[in-house]
């Protein structure tokens, strides 16, 4: 029999949404007595599992070209005190799990969010590790970004992006003039971003597991422009991956039902089936609430609500037919299809006819031309240089710099899956104001240079570091931060061992020597900042 848990959550989300102990039944809190480690094996459920698939398995590398440079190399535990790097500004939210603070990152001057999780309240240590591991693998403009984490005897501290526009639930229930701005056009923009994030997640076999209004944050600057009528869309971020799973096959829960009651799919309640299409049902509930202001399944108590969901029968208000398009009504029915096998998937949802009415994204044509020019003129870089730029792209680019380049990324990402393919890049060059025709050979060269993780696509942060002017990207301030990150022991020099611990401990010796030799280093080298600066300065000189 499934243990049913009603999870309510706060407006900033939490690990597994354990925000109100009063709403947690048949679970006993445990107090961690040792530091969590990514080296610990995580035990999964009997039969099909998801935890075992989250273990860090070394990728076998036989040659230099196979080394994948990814931002998750730099997302790790910081052994120092959070206060050495972050200044607390204000309390954002508080719940049974702990609290969320707005903090200032003193090195970059950028605001970030600090989730402080009380270890005495964390009932599943593994779920904390799972959320961090999943977030480390994600690189999408509409998914919250994690920077690092800390821990002490009392708390875990997760540092993520900060969005001070609030969550959709708060915005919708605030009342007043703001509600009138949530037109079908705006809702369509929100849902397209949610589906884009889900297409990306599902392509990586990751299920979010808790899609709801509270887990969608809004960018405040965009919100201000939106409420003044100067914008046709809201920039959103999907948060809270505490209930997420990485899996390759459907499996059944044996003990625990996770999620938020109004959004749980019927197959989860009835059979405990965990599948990617659970997320699509939740999207149907989300879309219904955004359009009507009420949940489609709302019983007098939990039991009645569960029965309504299992039956899958809902009604659409009569006046809704007079104000809403037939396309959005069709999408709601396809998402809230009780039969999981018939229910629409994320890719089909993103291609639904409702999105044909989406307003074309407006971008700065001069900036777009400059970005494409930067891509066209890229030169081959060495693995160490790629790693340094990857760190800078993930940690050092200001929110202001990101804003317009993110728009161009989304503009080029024609199918909205959160990645740019070779064909999409080719079309981007052709549609530019200079109408640049690129042959397959030239495109292959560009893709090879940008695609540091060998995925055959241009991921979001790969695009950022390729698009930004190299002089700006490799400024002395940014290079100092990168140098400090590589200098793990803080002695003022970067050793070969420190480089190896970041780029990959499992790289064969002979391949790692090639990594060093590319930039004139050896196993015995001690790299000071001056020499580090010279190695990175070559990139600017090549431009």
- Whether 408 and 519 map to the same domain: the answer is yes
Q: Can you give the residue range of the structural domain that contains 521?
A: 365-542
Same domain, 136 and 207: no
The residue out of 319, 336, 357 marking a domain boundary is 357
The predicted pLDDT at position 141 comes to: 95
Buried b (16+ CB within 10 A) or exposed e, 324-355: beebbeebbebbbbbebeebbbbeebbebebb
Give the list of residues 6+ apart from residue 159 with CB closer than 8 angstroms, or none.
82, 86, 103, 105, 112, 113, 114, 115, 146, 147, 148, 149, 150
Q: For the chain, what is the domain count?
A: 3
Same domain flag for 16 and 151: yes
On the question of pLDDT at 30 being above 80, the answer is no
Per-residue pLDDT tens digits for 77-99: 998 999 999 999 999 988 767 89
CATH of the domain at 178: 1.10.510.10
Q: Kindly report, residue by residue over 470-504, the tens digit of the pLDDT.
A: 999 999 999 999 999 999 999 999 999 999 999 98
Catalytic residue set: 210
Say whether both 41 and 156 belong to one domain.
yes
d(CA 375, CA 367): 12
pLDDT tens-place string over residues 198-219: 999 999 999 999 999 999 999 8
Q: pLDDT band at 172, cuts 50/70/90?
A: confident
Model confidence pLDDT, tens digit, residues 318-372: 888 888 999 999 999 999 999 999 999 999 999 999 998 876 777 778 888 889 8
Residue range 104-109: mean pLDDT, rounded: 94
- Radius of gyration of the chain from Cα atoms? 24
Indicate the residue among 116, 145, 161 that finishes a domain.
161
Residues 202 and 307 in one domain: yes
The CATH number linked to 147 is: 3.30.200.20
pLDDT above 90 for 42: no
Boundary (domain end) residue, out of 332, 357, 382? 357
Confidence band, pLDDT 50/70/90 cuts, at residue 20: very low
| pLDDT at residue number 364 | 79
Element (H, E) at 109: none
* CATH number, domain containing residue 397: 1.10.238.10
Considering the domain architecture, whether residues 186 and 116 belong to the same structural domain is answered as: no
Question: What single-letter DSSP state applies at residue 218?
Answer: E
Instruction: Examine the domain organization and report whether 15 and 101 are in the same domain.
Output: yes
Hey, what's the torsion of the CAs at 155, 156, 162, 163, to 10 degrees? -80
Determine the pLDDT at residue 368: 86
Q: What is the rounded average pLDDT for all residues in the chain?
A: 83
Compute how many other C-beta atoms are within 10 angstroms of the C-beta atom of residue 71: 26
């Amino acid at each position: 029999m499934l243990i049913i848990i009603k999870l309510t959550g706060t407006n900033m989300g939490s690990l597994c949404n354990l925000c109100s102990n009063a709403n947690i039944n048949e679970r006993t809190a445990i107090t961690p007595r040792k530091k969590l480690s990514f080296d610990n094996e995580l035990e999964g459920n009997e039969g099909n599992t998801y935890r075992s698939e989250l273990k860090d398995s070394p990728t076998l590398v036989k040659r230099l070209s196979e080394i994948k440079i990814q931002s998750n190399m730099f997302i790790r535990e910081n052994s120092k005190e959070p206060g050495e790097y972050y200044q607390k500004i204000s309390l954002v939210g508080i719940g049974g799990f702990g609290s969320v603070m707005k903090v200032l990152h003193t090195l970059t001057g950028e605001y970030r969010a600090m989730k402080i999780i009380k270890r005495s309240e964390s009932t599943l240590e593994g779920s904390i590790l799972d959320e961090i591991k999943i977030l480390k693998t994600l690189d999408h403009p509409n998914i919250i970004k994690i920077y690092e984490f800390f821990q002490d005897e009392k708390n875990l501290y997760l540092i993520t992006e900060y969005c001070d526009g609030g969550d959709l639930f708060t915005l919708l229930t605030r009342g007043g003039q703001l509600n009138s701005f949530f037109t079908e056009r705006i809702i369509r923009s929100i849902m397209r971003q949610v589906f884009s994030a889900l297409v990306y997640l599902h392509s990586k076999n990751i299920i979010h597991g808790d899609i709801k209004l509270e887990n969608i944050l809004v960018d405040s600057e965009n919100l201000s422009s939106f409420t003044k009528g100067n914008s046709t869309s809201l920039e959103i971020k999907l948060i809270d991956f505490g209930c997420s799973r990485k899996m390759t096959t459907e499996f059944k829960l044996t003990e625990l039902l996770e999620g938020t009651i109004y959004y749980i799919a019927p197959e989860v309640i009835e059979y405990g089936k965990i599948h990617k299409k659970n997320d699509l049902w939740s999207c149907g509930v989300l879309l219904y609430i955004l359009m009507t202001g009420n949940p489609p399944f709302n019983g007098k108590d939990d039991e009645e609500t569960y029965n309504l969901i299992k039956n899958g029968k809902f009604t659409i208000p009569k006046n809704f037919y007079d104000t809403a398009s037939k396309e959005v009504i069709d999408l709601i029915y396809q998402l809230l299809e009780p039969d999981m096998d018939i229910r629409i998937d994320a890719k089909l949802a993103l291609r639904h006819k409702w999105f044909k009415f989406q307003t074309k994204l407006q971008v700065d044509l001069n900036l777009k031309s400059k970005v494409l020019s930067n891509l066209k003129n890229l030169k081959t870089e060495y693995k160490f240089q790629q790693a340094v730029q990857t760190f800078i792209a993930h940690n050092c680019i200001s929110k202001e710099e990101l804003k317009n380049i993110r728009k161009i990324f989304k503009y080029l990402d024609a199918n909205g899956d959160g990645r740019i393919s070779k064909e999409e890049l080719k079309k981007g060059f052709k549609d530019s104001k200079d109408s640049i025709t690129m042959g397959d050979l030239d495109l292959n060269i560009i893709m090879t240079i940008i695609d540091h993780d060998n995925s055959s696509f241009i991921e979001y942060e790969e695009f950022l570091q390729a698009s930004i002017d190299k002089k700006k990207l490799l400024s002395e301030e940014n290079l100092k931060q990168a140098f400090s990150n590589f200098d793990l022991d803080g002695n003022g020099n970067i050793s070969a061992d420190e480089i190896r611990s970041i780029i990959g401990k499992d790289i064969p010796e002979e391949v790692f020597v090639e990594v060093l030799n590319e930039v004139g280093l050896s196993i015995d080298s001690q790299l000071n900042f001056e020499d580090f600066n010279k190695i990175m300065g070559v990139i600017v000189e090549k431009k």
